[in-house]
Amino acid sequence: MTCQRLTDEDRDALAALLADEPLVANYANHATEVLLSNDHQVWGCMDNGALVAAVIVAVGPFDAEIDSLIVARAYRRRGLGQVLIEQAVAQARASGKERMLLEVREGNVAAIALYQRMGFSVDGLRANYYPALNGQGAREAACLMSLALG
């Protein structure tokens, strides 16, 4: 398994990975734009030539923000998410960014625990931010998290 920065040549693989995950499927139509954008970096993990995980990072003048972290269902709980976050953090740190930001569904306890183990702290909540999962139930708050890179 290898993890690397993705390029425009990976657009179809990225679009397919994104399209398979309903919560980030909106990015699938914009895979090429994201890969070519100066405002984004995309890192991915390949297994036998197939893209199985990716992180999309928006890069600003002072901060970087994890927009999406996607791991194919068959590859979850293998540490790929952590590997990609570590890569994104290392790149942001190397380019002089002050903070790494992210937001995650308040109910995604496993993801929040992972981020906290990696040093992220909870900065607050954005109430009613995410639509209900599967269109049922109440909207869900976004948990705002950050990691100081200095």
Per-residue pLDDT of 86-129, as tens digits, reads 999 999 999 999 999 999 999 999 899 999 999 999 999 999 88
Per-residue pLDDT of 46-90, as tens digits, reads 999 899 999 999 999 999 999 889 899 899 999 999 999 999 999
In the beta sheet, which residues pair with residue 102?
66, 145
* Range 87-95 contact pairs with CB under 8 angstroms and sequence separation of 24 or more: 87/3, 87/43, 87/55, 88/41, 88/43, 88/55, 88/57, 88/64, 89/118, 89/147, 89/149, 91/41, 91/43, 91/57, 91/64, 92/57, 92/59, 92/64, 92/149, 93/149, 95/59, 95/64
Tokens, residue 41: 């970096």
Per-residue pLDDT of 4-41, as tens digits, reads 999 889 988 988 888 877 666 566 666 667 788 889 99
* Alpha helix stretches (DSSP H) within 53-95: 80-94
Per-residue pLDDT of 82-92, as tens digits, reads 999 999 999 99
Tokens, residue 132: 């209900």
Catalytic residue among 21, 115, 129, 140: 115
27 classed as catalytic? no
Please, what is the angle between helix 80-94 and helix 109-117, to 10°? Answer: 50
Catalytic residue among 9, 27, 98, 103: 103
